[in-house]
Amino acid sequence: MNEKWVSVRDACQALEISESTLYRRLESGKLEAKMEDGRRLIRLPRDSQVTDDVIRELRGDKDRLIAQVERLERELSQSRERQDTIILTLTQQVRVLKDRRPWWSRIFKKKREPV
């Protein structure tokens, strides 16, 4: 496909990207733009260049997402450990409180009836 100049909206549709992604690519030099009659035009690259750019971008996204998933899995595991510790502590406290006689029983030396 020959290179052609199109509007921002048409470039976004042709490349199947958002305007913010288009402007990021313009800032990084991956795409070229010019002003003509007060309109910004974007030069669409050849198909192979678009494909290579998309593949590189997707690989970077994949690596970033894998790292994010690993971090979230670690946080989830730590959270579960904290929950287990809290549950164990509360269970032990309940047992202690359950076995404890009321104050009046200790003063008047009454035995607790089995529950």
When pLDDT is cut at 50, 70 and 90, the band that residue 1 belongs to is: very low
The domains of the chain are located at: 1-45, 46-100
pLDDT in tens, 50-83: 667 777 888 989 999 999 999 999 999 999 999 9
Task: Give the pTM.
Answer: 0.42
CA dist list (Å): 45 to 2, 35, 40? 8, 17, 16
The tokens describing 98, both together, are 């359950």
Instruction: Give the integer Cα–Cα distance in Å for 29 and 104.
Output: 82
Confirm if 43 and 11 have CB atoms less than 8 A apart. no
Own/partner contacts of 45-49, CB < 8 Å, gap of 24 or more, are 45/3, 46/1, 46/3, 47/1
